[in-house]
């Protein structure tokens, strides 16, 4: 099963992708996580990506596409995967489709997690990310047992630089301009499914399981 997660920044793509990955035993491939790991490790790719991420802009397609296409060739992807945060532009989606077509494959589902803009600022200002394992929480909607400490690994939690209100506004503009057109792209491909992302995260997941099957 090959799945693309769509939705605004903060809609809950990562939250749901992790749950899907666990239930269906598929690798969760998040381009945002890959860039953040590269930034943490001080790689050249990380340094380049950071200049765009800090401004709320998309990293250029040429820095993203080959990275993902190479990742999909790895052994753990042979039974499928969940793409979270990729594609984010029409050229990225076209490059993905072309790479799949070359090996006679195609995406199965594009799950669009719908959350209106007015909910997004709160979602993102309350998001806390683990500096070490990348787990995400929310101060209000998914709090940790001890404030500021990751439940999974005990490391410190931070507010991502790009989750500060001024950057979130820019990221939403970029989303509407460059990423939202993918909804029609996948609708035309006949694989789009919409889920209401405003309800409790477990209910969002139940709706996704209804679509994907038990
Ligand atoms: P995305 O990957 O789309 O950027 P996340 O999955 O990181 O979004 O979710 C953004 C924030 O909102 C996180 O702090 C997460 O805990 C919280 N969140 C996710 N889904 C829900 C939900 N259904 N209701 C309330 N908060 C949610
Ligand atoms: P995310 O963790 O998915 O919210 O991504 C964080 C940031 O990483 C985005 O705001 C972009 O700057 C960058 N990024 C992640 N995925 C992509 C992508 N597919 N294309 C371009 N930029 C990306």
Report phi then psi at 114, rounded to 5. Answer: -95, 120
**Shortest-distance Cα residue to atom 12 of ligand 1:** 123
- Alpha-carbon gap, residue 67 to 71, rounded angstroms: 6
Query: Which one of the ligands is nearest to 143 CA?
Result: 1
* pLDDT(55) > 90: yes
pLDDT (tens digit, 9 = 90+) per residue, 72-120? 999 999 999 999 999 999 999 999 999 999 999 999 999 999 999 999 9
* pLDDT at position 214: 85
Instruction: Give the Å distance between the CA of 63 and the centre of ligand 2.
Output: 11
pLDDT (tens digit, 9 = 90+) per residue, 25-36? 999 999 999 999
Residues assigned a catalytic role: 13, 88, 127, 160, 171
- Please state the rounded mean pLDDT for residues 140-160: 96
* pLDDT at position 128: 96
Contacts of 138 (CB under 8 A, 6+ apart): 123, 126, 127, 128
């Amino acid at each position: 099963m090959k799945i693309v997660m769509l939705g605004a920044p903060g809609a809950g793509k990562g939250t749901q992708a992790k749950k899907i990955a666990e239930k269906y035993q598929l690798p969760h491939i998040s381009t945002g996580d890959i860039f953040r790991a590269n930034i943490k490790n001080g790689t050249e790719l990380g340094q380049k990506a950071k200049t765009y991420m800090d401004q709320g802009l998309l990293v250029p397609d040429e820095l993203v596409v080959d990275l993902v296409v190479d990742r999909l060739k790895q052994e753990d992807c042979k039974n499928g995967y969940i793409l979270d945060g990729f594609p984010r532009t029409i050229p990225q989606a076209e490059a993905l489709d072309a790479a799949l077509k070359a090996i006679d494959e195609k995406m199965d589902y594009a799950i669009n997690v719908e959350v209106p803009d007015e909910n997004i600022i709160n979602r993102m200002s309350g998001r806390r990310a683990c500096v070490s394992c990348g787990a995400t929480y929310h101060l209000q909607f998914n709090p940790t047992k001890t404030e500021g400490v990751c439940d999974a690994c005990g490391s410190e939690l931070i507010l991502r630089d790009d989750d500060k209100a001024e950057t979130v506004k820019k990221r939403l503009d970029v989303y509407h301009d460059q990423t939202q057109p993918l909804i029609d792209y996948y609708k035309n491909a006949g694989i789009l499914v919409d889920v209401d992302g405003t309800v409790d995260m477990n209910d969002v997941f139940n709706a996704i399981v209804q679509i994907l099957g038990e």
